[in-house]
Structure 1
């Protein structure tokens, strides 16, 4: 992920979340040296090529944290989120991480199912972590060994 990717990243972010990350947040992540990856798809019959998803990960002290992972609404259900997740976990391993962490909304059943299928387990709850329509939503903290 580079600065030129941000318009497409923001379009997906805004189509997905009630309170999306801002361009400034993404720019700060890149400036801090976090690893960002984008997934582009080739044009198929009747569809255009373009950015289908993105992810950001930070790594330090033997751990990595998946900060954001998202696929475009029209691209969901094709295994692209799994592909991005595995790519981010590989980045964590390359950075020396022995375990990976992330937060997920319990209401995001597709994401929860993906993370469980990829070996993540719940290790905690962050109460009121996410903004939600009409209030706040908890986050489940998930962890997976990388070694």
Structure 2
């Protein structure tokens, strides 16, 4: 099992099945249409969708990220950070742990989609070397019914 340590008193490790409830709650806080506990439990149990959590020594989860392996590419499916842990480097810590986790895989490029109006995420991804490769207009639903554009980004994994 891999562990990634951080000076924030948090570490990153693979998610457990028991984490699905907390992961679903964090996802629902960060996204208009959150996924269910059952969906996350299936992802955690699956082979092709590794899920990682940033947590403290008592396993209180501050954030999570989920990948999907696609041959020589890997896709960041979703990432969310608990509100009380935002702007404290948890997203950056999770992303760096993901890069390390896929280092020995066949993946040579990481892809992701992010809402065009999510400035904090866009700034983080740019800092990590992601570049825009496309757009998906009307991709994300919003509570008011208006669709939001998704920016498709990619980064070589070296």
Both proteins in one fold, TM over 0.5: yes
CA distance in 1, matches of 2:70, 2:30: 29
CA distance in 2, matches of 1:11, 1:82: 20
2:26 corresponds, among 12, 15, 22, to: 12
Listed as ranges, the gaps of 5+ residues in structure 2 are 1-14
Which digits, 9 at most, give the CA deviation of each residue in 1:86-112, with x for residues without a partner? 111222222221110000001111000
Aligned residue-pair number: 142
2:141 match: secondary structure: strand
Report if aligned partners of 2:17, 2:45 keep a CA contact under 8 Å in 1.
Answer: no
Give the TM-score normalised by structure 2: 0.83
Deviation at 1:42?
Answer: 4.7
Listed as ranges, the gaps of 5+ residues in structure 1 are 44-48
Consecutive aligned runs of 4 or more in structure 1 exceeding 6 Å deviation? none
CA distance in 2, matches of 1:7, 1:98: 32
- 1:25 aligned partner: 39
- 2:54 aligned partner: 39
CA distance in 2, matches of 1:94, 1:59: 12
